[in-house]
Structure formats: structure tokens, C-alpha cells
């Protein structure tokens, strides 16, 4: 056989029992979940800021970064809800390269999925315990979501996953906001189809069970730019792009029409230092249009302690080993700018 079965992975219940999430932290998450949900449901004028490294590969640096975010959160709490990115799965376009802590708890060593599952759960819980900020992660593998479902306050579905049936159906059974990115082609209708599917209930096969879901009314759109057939990055954060999405959203009659804008990836043309400029343009567009002020409810920013990126073997503390990120000083000032201009 082409498959080599390495080991049987423990069930989510077994991993959760081994690495429990305390009742105290669960109450913190419940309160945060309610605040975030209120933004999506337009019951709160606060603004969501999903910010953090491209991929979380080092627990110490990740927790250090998030503890810094927590201090800033206290200063902007009336205006912004900061949701730290703790992305433990990294999609790879060609399948090559570092795939995230789930695969490799130590990026310089061989993959170990069992230890990876434990490592990512421990890191998420530690981050919440120290900062009282509850995190976002990307659901790259739908069957793995239940290992983290009790600790995540926000989930993203990536551009390469948003067309997948199992991702859409799994989102329909989740109780937290889920951002569905536009596909790499930029086809907005695909993203809206995904949101529509996720907002309805379904019966399907999941983790060896026949399950039934009730639909997730908190599923919403993330604009992340596109790549055309020549391989050129095409931004979609401009005023006209967002207004077009707002019109199509309303024509569909979807629940809680919400747009989050990803300021990196194809929107920045992979030029991470463009993120502050992009943020300023988006905030200006919100001021110009009451429609966008109502519908654009947050931003997604890639940021870490040290700006740029590095190879895994360089081991610079707090520096991304995947996509380049803004450094801490620029990130902190950008958060204050957002708070003053939303």
C-alpha cells in the first residue's frame, strides 16, 4: 500500500482530558465570544482586529507577542477587540515547506502529528491563560477542529479550502464566527456560496459519525486579494471592490453581512510593509461610505515581534519562518491608529 500507518491518533476527548481547559478560562472565553459575536451581529460598534504571525512556530515567542497585545488591548478596549492569530496549520501551495506546528512541533525536526496536536493545544491554552485574549486559528483540516473547538474564538477558512465541501459543512456546525476567504482566483461568488452553505444546516459524515448541523449565522467574508492566470497579485481591498461585495452580499440576503479585510497576502502583493497603508485606505473608505462603515467590521494583519521572515534554521526569536510580518513597533502604532480612526 502507498499509505504507511504510523500510529493511531487519540480521540479529541482523550487529548482534551490530557490537556484540559479550566472552567476559569472557559468563562473568559465565553465572555469574549459574546463580545465578538455582538460585533458580527451589529449589536456592538467595536472593531475586530485579527492580528499575529503568519504561522505560530515557537510557543515562547508567540506567548511573548500575545502578552504584548494584551497590554495594548487594555488601552484600546473601548474601540477594538483584539483576536490574536495563533495559526498552527500552514497551507502550502505546492505541498512543500513548513506546514505548521501541528505537523512539526519543532520546525527543524521531522513531522510528529501526535506531539503536534498536544503542542498546539498547550500553546493555545497557555496564551489564553497568560493574556486573557482568546485566539483565532485556521481550519486547514476539518477533522482536527474538535481538538481545539473549546479554546478558539474565531476560525478562518483559507483561500484554497473555501470551495471544499467538508470545510463548508463543518463550519455549519460551529458556534463561533468563521471567516471564509475569497479563493485565490478572486471569484467573490465562490466565497458567498461558501457562506451561504455554512449558514444552513446539513447532514453529513464527520469523524466516523453521521451528524446533523443547525447552520452558522456568524459565517462571513474575508477579502484577501487574488492571483490572476498570469500569476499576478490582484488586490480587492479598494473602495470599489468592497462596495461590489456589499451589493452582492445584500442581494443574497445572507445573515449578518460582514466583511473582514486581510491586509497582507495578495492584497499587499506579498509586500508586508504595505499593510499600514492598506489599513489607512480601508478606514478612509469606511468613513466615506455608511454602507462600508456598517459592513466592514474588522481587519486581519500579519504581525510579529521582529519584522520580515527567516529560514527555520536561522532561529531568530519572534521572527516568522513563513510569510514576512510587520514588526512589533510598527504593529503597536498601527493598532493605536486604527482605534483613533474607526
Note the pLDDT tens digit of each residue in 190-207. Answer: 999 999 999 999 999 999
Place of cell 505541498: 95
Does the structure show a pLDDT above 80 at 93? no
- What residues does each domain of the chain span? 28-341
Q: What is the pLDDT of residues 136-162, one digit of tens each?
A: 999 999 999 999 999 999 999 999 999
Q: Kindly report the number of other CB atoms within 10 A of residue 326's CB atom.
A: 27
In this structure, CATH architecture of domain 28-341: Alpha-Beta Barrel (3.20)
Is the pLDDT at 95 greater than 80? The verdict is no
Identify which of 290, 191, 281 has the alpha carbon closest to the alpha carbon of residue 235: 281
Q: Tell me the residue ranges of DSSP E strands in the chain.
A: 47-52, 80-84, 136-138, 154-157, 178-181, 203-206, 209-212, 219-223, 226-227, 233-234, 259-262, 296-302, 306-309, 319-320
Whether 276 contacts 264, CB under 8 Å: no
C-alpha span between 61 and 25 (Å, rounded)? 21
pLDDT at 91: 84
pLDDT at 114 over 90: yes
pTM beyond cutoff 0.95: yes
Q: What is the pLDDT of residue 1?
A: 63
Q: What gap in Å lies between CA 298 and CA 262, rounded to an integer?
A: 9
Buried b (16+ CB within 10 A) or exposed e, 305-314: bbbebeeeee
Amino acid at each position: 500500500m502507498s499509505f504507511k500507518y504510523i500510529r493511531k491518533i487519540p480521540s479529541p476527548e482523550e487529548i482534551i482530558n490530557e490537556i484540559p481547559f479550566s472552567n476559569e478560562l472557559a468563562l473568559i472565553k465565553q465572555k469574549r465570544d459574546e463580545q465578538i459575536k455582538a460585533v458580527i451581529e451589529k449589536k456592538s460598534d467595536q472593531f475586530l482586529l485579527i492580528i499575529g504571525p503568519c504561522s505560530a512556530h515557537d510557543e515562547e515567542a508567540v506567548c511573548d507577542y500575545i502578552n504584548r497585545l494584551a497590554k495594548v488591548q487594555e488601552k484600546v478596549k473601548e474601540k477594538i477587540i483584539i483576536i490574536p492569530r495563533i495559526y498552527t496549520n500552514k497551507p502550502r501551495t505546492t505541498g512543500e515547506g513548513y506546514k505548521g506546528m501541528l505537523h512539526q512541533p519543532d520546525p527543524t525536526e521531522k513531522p510528529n502529528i501526535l506531539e503536534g496536536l498536544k503542542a498546539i493545544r498547550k500553546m493555545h491554552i497557555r496564551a489564553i491563560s497568560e493574556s486573557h485574549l482568546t485566539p483565532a486559528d485556521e481550519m486547514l483540516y476539518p477533522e482536527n477542529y474538535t481538538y481545539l473547538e473549546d479554546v478558539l474564538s474565531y476560525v478562518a477558512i483559507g483561500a484554497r479550502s473555501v470551495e471544499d465541501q467538508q470545510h463548508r459543512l463543518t463550519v455549519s456546525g460551529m458556534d463561533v464566527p468563521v471567516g471564509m476567504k475569497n479563493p485565490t482566483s478572486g471569484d467573490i461568488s465562490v466565497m458567498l456560496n461558501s457562506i451561504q452553505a455554512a449558514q444552513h444546516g446539513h447532514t453529513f459524515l464527520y469523524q466516523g459519525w453521521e451528524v446533523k448541523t443547525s447552520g452558522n449565522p456568524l459565517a462571513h467574508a474575508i477579502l484577501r486579494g487574488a492571483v490572476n492566470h498570469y500569476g499576478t497579485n490582484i488586490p480587492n481591498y479598494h473602495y470599489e471592490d468592497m462596495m461590489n461585495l456589499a451589493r452582492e452580499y445584500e442581494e443574497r440576503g445572507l445573515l449578518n453581512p460582514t466583511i473582514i479585510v486581510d491586509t497582507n497576502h495578495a492584497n499587499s502583493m506579498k509586500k508586508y510593509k504595505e499593510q499600514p497603508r492598506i489599513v489607512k485606505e480601508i478606514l478612509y473608505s469606511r468613513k466615506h461610505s455608511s454602507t462600508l462603515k456598517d459592513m466592514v467590521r474588522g481587519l486581519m494583519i500579519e504581525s510579529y515581534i521582529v519584522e520580515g521572515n527567516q529560514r527555520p534554521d536561522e532561529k531568530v526569536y519572534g521572527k516568522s519562518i513563513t510569510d514576512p510580518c510587520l514588526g512589533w513597533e510598527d504593529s503597536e502604532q498601527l493598532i493605536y491608529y486604527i482605534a483613533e480612526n474607526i
